[in-house]
Amino acid sequence: MNPNDFDRFLAKTTPQPLGLEIVKASGSYLWDASGKKYLDFVAGVSACSLGHCHPKVVQAIQRQAADYLHVMVYGEFAQKPVTDLAKKLLGLMPETHEKIYLTNSGTEAIEGALKLAKRATGRSGIVAAHHSYHGSTQGALSVTGFEPIKQAYRPLLPDVSFIPFNSPEALETINTSTAAVILETIQGGAGFIVPQKDYLQQVKARCEAVGALLILDEIQPGFGRTGRLFGFEHFEVVPDIVVMGKGMGGGLPIGAFTASSALMDLLAVNPSLGHITTFGGHPLIAAAALATLEEISGTDLLQQIPEKEAMIREMLQHPKIKKINGQGLMLAPILETPAEVDQVVLGALEEGLILFWLLWEKRAFRISPPLNISKDEIREGCQVILRLLDRL
C-alpha cells in the first residue's frame, strides 16, 4: 500500500492517528507491513473479545458466506443464524428480557433504546451522567456528558439532564417527566469508573418510583469483559433496556438492545416501522456473534477473568501508577499527567505493545486485551509497561 494513501483518502478522527499498516492479525497479536509483531492489549477497543481471527468465528463466517448474505431488511425474513443468536443470547439474560433488536453498531442501538423509552412512556426527558460516552450520532451524542465534544454540533436533543455518576443525592433529578435514565454500567471514557455499593439499585428504585425506564449501556463491559456476561450482573440490578455492541461480534460490526416483549412490541405499531434498519441482523455477522457467544458462555473463559485481572493488578504495582480503575479485563492505570500517558502509549508501540488512550480521562491508558489472552502474554505486556514506567 502506498503509505500516503491513508492520509490522502481517509477522513480522520484526530490530526495524528497512529497509522500502523496492519497486514495480519491472529490471536493476541498484530503484524504491520514491515513484519513487526505487536502484542495487542486493546483488542480493537474491546471489540475483539476472542482475539483476532478466532478459528470458530472464522469458520462460522465462512459457512454462512457460502449459504447467503443480505437478503432482506431487518425484521421481514426468518433467518436461522439471526434467530439462533437471539434465542441463545436471551436465554442467558434476565427472564424479563424477552426480545432483541439487532443493529449495526452500539451507537445505533443507543438510538433505538432512547426511542423505545420515549415511545413507552410518552415522555421526552432523558437523564444521563456527566463524563459519559454513548456514541457519536445525534441522539447518542446528546446523552454524552462531555461538552467539549458536543459544542460544535448543537442544537442536539432537548430535555436531556446530567447528573454525577455515583451520586445518590442527585437522583431527585429523575422525575415524572423522565422517560429514561441512561448510564454506562462502567463509565468508559471517564476512566473505567465502577458503580459504588448499591448505586445502580438506587437508580433503578428511583426510576420505578417515577415511572421512568433504566437503560444500561453495556457496549464496553458486555460479553464477558468484567468476568460476567454483562457488567450489571455484578450489581444485582436488572435494567429495563440493555444496550450492547463491541465485543458481541467477534471482530465484526454489530449492536443490539434487549427488553421485555411488552416494550419491544411497541416498535411495530403506532407507528409501524418504529425503528428500522437495512443491515441490522445481518446473517453473516449474526453467525460470527453466535460463535463468539458460544465460546464465551460454553467454556471456562469467564471464570478465568478474575485471575487475569488479579495478575495484571499485581504486576503493575509501580510508583508512577496512582491507582488502577475498572474491573475484569477493562482496566485503566492512572498516572500523574497526560504527558506520562503519551510516553507510555507511544513508547509501548515502539516496544511492540499496543495500548491506547481513554476519551476524557487523559491521565489513564487502556488495558482491554482479548478475553482469552494467555498468562504468558499478560506477563509479557506488563513487563513492557513496567520498563516504560521506569523511564519516566
Tens of pLDDT along the chain (392 residues) come to 887 899 899 999 999 899 999 999 999 999 999 999 999 999 999 999 999 999 999 999 999 999 999 999 999 999 999 999 999 999 999 999 999 999 999 999 999 999 999 999 999 999 999 999 999 999 999 999 999 999 999 999 999 999 999 999 999 999 999 999 999 999 999 999 999 989 999 999 999 999 999 999 999 999 999 999 999 999 999 999 999 999 999 999 999 999 999 999 999 999 999 999 999 999 999 999 999 999 999 999 999 999 999 999 999 999 999 999 999 999 999 999 999 999 999 999 999 999 999 999 999 999 999 999 999 999 999 999 999 999 99
Cα 194 to Cα 289: distance, rounded to the nearest angstrom: 26
pLDDT of residue 1: 87
Q: What are 180's strand-pairing partners?
A: 126, 213
389 part of a folded domain: no
Output the pLDDT for position 192. 98
- Structural domain including 166 reads 56-298
Q: How many domains does the structure of the chain reveal?
A: 1
Among candidates 274, 240, 268, 277, which has minimal Cα distance to 97? 240
pLDDT score, position 3 = 76
pLDDT given for residue 131 in this prediction? 98
pLDDT of 99: 98
- What CA–CA distance (Å, rounded) separates 127 from 16? 34
Q: Is residue 127 part of a domain?
A: yes
pLDDT at 328: 98
Residue 238 forms part of a structural domain: yes
Contact present, 124 and 114 (Cβ < 8 Å): no
pLDDT given for residue 129 in this prediction: 98
- Does any domain span residue 48? no
Q: Is residue 94 part of a domain?
A: yes
Kindly state whether residue 369 falls inside one of the protein's structural domains: no
Sorted by sequence, the CB contacts under 8 Å of residue 153 that are 6+ apart come out as 138, 141
Residue 237, domain CATH: 3.40.640.10
Residue 25 in any domain: the answer is: no
Does 355 map to a domain?
A: no
**Whole-prediction pTM:** 0.97
Element (H, E) at 217: strand 213-217
Alpha carbons within 13 A on the beta-carbon side of 276: 10
Widest CA span of the chain, in angstroms? 62
Q: Which residues contact 245 (CB under 8 A, 6 or more apart)?
A: 103, 105, 106, 107, 109, 219, 222, 254, 255, 256
